[in-house]
Amino acid sequence: MGVLSPERILRGLQSPNLFLRELNRLYYKRLYTRPYNSSGIGIFEEDWDNLLVLDACRYDLFESRSDLDGELESRISRGSSTPEWLRANFARRELHDTVYVTANPQLFRHREELDVSFHAEVNVWQEDGWDDEQQTVLPKTVTERALKAADEYPNKRLLVHYIQPHYPFLTDDDQPFENSQAFLKPDEPGSWHQAVIGKIDPDPDTVWQAYGETLNRALPAVERLLDGLNGKSVVTADHGNMIGERASPFPIREWGHPRGVYTEELVKVPWLVIDDERREIRFENPVNAETDPADEEVEKRLEDLGYV
């Protein structure tokens, strides 16, 4: 985590952009003296009963696309990738007043190092929650599981983690974005990485359109969940995404959401506040966790979501 491993040095030498990305990372992490973006907020210290997280949703995209009722503000995230955000917010905590409903398998992948416990967890990406055709968890499925959890645990904070607008991209009619094949292919995980090293040359406008339509696909499901919840709700994101913009201080074109790089596109996230009558929140012992999936299932889900 805090040193340049031989593997990372080799990757950097194989691509000038990866080498310059590593220098940018060294700058933002102060030569690895910062374990995460210390300018960011701690989500569990913020005031909410329900926190709805849109994965990889940058502030300007949300501002331009969302018409959800509420007071829109912005916050700075502690991470520029989901694993980093999880470590910065979840690690070594007993969150027994919270139920975590998630479409992202990253918590399970990093569970041992995170050492976090919730009152309950709902891993929507397991089994019938996963859509094999779209290779993701659809927003409506997350909403259905979250509403069920809200009924089952009325005295708990509800943390709901949607996967959209994270890749794979969808259109408003629940179909894959037709032009997304031009830069991200389902059988080639890690295509953000391919764009950074110059193996593919995406059109930023096409990617932005796909990214935006995917958020459009999620917003009605988010609205439905908000309508079904009691208490103060907030809609936010774990981190943002770069669509070919120049990073800093070394101005390479960046794609995706590399960890440890804290540009505005990557760490400025929406914070939409919806006030309502507050719920009574209680700490209670954790309930039995869901059955653990096989490691190969976790890795396959992550590959489908574009992780290397």
pLDDT at 61: 98
| Nearest-angstrom CA–CA distance, 290 and 186 | 28
Stated pTM of the model: 0.90
| Nearest-angstrom CA–CA distance, 243 and 208 | 7
Domain positions in the chain = 39-304
Which one has a higher pLDDT value, 181 or 135? 135
Percent of the chain past pLDDT 70, that is, above it, reads 85
pLDDT at 1: 45
pLDDT at 170: 84
pLDDT higher than 80, residue 266: yes
- Whole-number average pLDDT of the chain: 88
| Nearest-angstrom CA–CA distance, 203 and 1 | 33
Q: Does domain 39-304 have CATH number 1.10.10?
A: no
Tell me the pLDDT tens digit for each residue of 110-139.
888 999 999 999 999 986 888 888 888 999
| Nearest-angstrom CA–CA distance, 186 and 169 | 11
Tell me the pLDDT tens digit for each residue of 84-107.
999 999 999 999 999 999 999 999
Beta carbons of 58 and 241 less than 8 angstroms apart? yes
> Minimal CA–CA distance to 213: which of 169, 180, 182?
169
